[in-house]
C-alpha cells in the first residue's frame, strides 16, 4: 500500500522542481498544501514531506504558520549568485575532469544530445531544464559533498534567471544557443581527457556567456524615439 503514495510523492517532487525552474510557479509565491494534495493525489503528510525535501534542496523556503514559499530572488540573493557562480562552476568542472568515469561521460553525452534537440525544436523550457541537468551531472561527476549542494542551489536560480532574460525573438539568440551547445561539447571533451585546467577555464568562459546576456537584459539600450525637428531659435 505504501508504494503508490511513495510514487506519487516522487512525481510531486519532480513536477514541483520543473514548475519552479520554468517559472510556472513564480519566485516568492506561496504553495497551498491542500491544492498540492489534490493536484498530485496525495494526502497532506506526504505533501509536507515533499516540501521539506524541496526546502533542503533550495527550491522552497518553509515559514512557520505560513507554509512553503517558492524561493525568492531578492537583490541580495542575486548579488551573491553573481559573486559565487564563476568560482563554484570552475571548481566543479576542475574536479569533474579529475574524477570522470566512462559511464558518466556517456551520460553527459546523452543529456547533450537531448539539449541540442530542444534547441532545434525551439522549446525554451525544455532547453533550460536540460541545461540545468547537464551542469548538475557535471556536479555529480565532481563528487564533492561540499560543492554539490552549492552547485545545485546556483543552478536553481541560474535556470530561473535564464527563463526570464532569454528571448528567442532576439536576432543574436540563435548564435548564443549554438555557442552554449558547442561549449557543452567542449566540456565533455575536456572532462573525458582529464584536462582540469581547461575544464575550469571553459567553465568561466561559459559563465561569461550567461553573465553578458543577463547584463544585456538588465541594462538594455535606450529607446530611440524620433522627436522631430527642433524649433528654430529666435534671434
Domains present along the chain, CATH in parentheses = 3-70 (1.10.10.10), 75-217 (1.20.120.530)
The per-residue pLDDT of the chain, averaged, comes to 89
What does the pLDDT average to over 113-118? 96
Closest listed residue to residue 154, CA positions, set 61, 67, 84, 220? 84
The whole model's pTM is what?
A: 0.84
**For helices 196-218 and 75-99, angle between their N-to-C axes, nearest 10 degrees:** 160
Beta-bridge partner residues of 68: 31, 62
Instruction: Please name the residues in contact with 214: beta carbons below 8 A apart, sequence gap of 6 or more.
Output: 161, 165
Contact status, residue 129 vs residue 22, Cβ threshold 8 Å: yes
For the chain, report the end-to-end CA distance as a whole number of angstroms. Answer: 94
- Distance (Å, whole) CA 199 – CA 192: 10
Per cent of the chain over pLDDT 70 is 85
Residue 229: per-residue pLDDT: 64
160-210 pLDDT, tens digit each: 988 877 655 555 566 788 899 999 999 999 999 999 999 999 999 999 988
Give the H/E segment covering residue 60: strand 60-63
Residue 217 pLDDT level (bands cut at 50, 70, 90): low
2 has pLDDT over 80:
no
The residue among 75 and 234 whose pLDDT is bigger is 75
Residue 130 pLDDT level (bands cut at 50, 70, 90): very high
Min mean pLDDT across 78-82, 121-125, 155-159, 172-176 is at 172-176
For the ranges 59-68, 118-127, 141-150, the maximum mean pLDDT occurs at 141-150
81-114 pLDDT, tens digit each: 999 999 999 999 999 999 999 999 999 999 999 9
| Burial class of residue 65 in the structure, from the number of CB atoms within 10 Å of its CB (0-12 exposed, 13-18 middle, 19+ buried) | exposed
4 has pLDDT over 90:
no
- Distance (Å, whole) CA 112 – CA 15: 22
Amino acid at each position: 500500500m505504501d508504494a503508490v503514495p511513495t510514487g506519487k510523492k516522487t512525481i510531486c517532487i519532480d513536477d514541483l522542481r520543473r514548475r519552479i525552474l520554468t517559472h510556472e510557479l513564480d519566485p516568492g509565491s506561496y504553495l497551498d498544501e491542500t491544492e498540492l494534495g489534490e493536484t498530485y493525489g496525495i494526502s497532506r503528510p506526504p505533501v509536507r514531506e515533499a516540501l521539506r525535501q524541496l526546502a533542503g534542496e533550495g527550491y522552497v523556503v518553509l515559514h512557520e504558520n505560513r507554509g512553503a514559499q517558492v524561493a525568492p530572488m531578492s537583490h541580495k540573493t542575486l548579488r551573491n549568485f553573481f559573486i559565487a557562480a564563476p568560482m563554484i562552476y570552475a571548481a566543479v568542472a576542475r574536479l569533474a575532469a579529475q574524477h570522470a568515469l566512462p559511464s558518466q561521460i556517456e551520460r553527459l553525452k546523452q543529456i547533450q544530445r537531448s539539449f541540442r534537440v530542444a534547441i532545434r525544436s525551439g522549446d525554451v523550457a525544455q532547453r533550460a531544464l536540460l541545461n540545468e541537468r547537464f551542469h548538475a551531472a557535471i556536479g555529480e561527476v565532481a563528487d564533492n559533498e561540499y560543492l554539490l549542494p552549492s552547485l545545485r542551489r546556483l543552478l536553481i536560480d541560474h535556470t530561473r534567471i535564464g527563463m526570464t532574460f532569454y528571448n528567442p525573438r532576439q536576432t543574436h539568440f540563435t548564435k548564443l544557443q549554438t555557442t552554449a551547445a558547442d561549449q557543452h561539447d567542449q566540456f565533455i571533451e575536456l572532462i573525458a581527457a582529464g584536462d582540469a585546467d581547461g575544464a575550469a577555464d571553459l567553465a568561466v568562459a561559459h559563465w561569461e556567456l550567461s553573465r553578458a546576456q543577463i547584463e544585456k537584459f538588465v541594462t538594455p539600450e535606450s529607446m530611440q524615439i524620433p522627436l522631430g525637428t527642433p524649433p528654430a531659435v529666435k534671434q
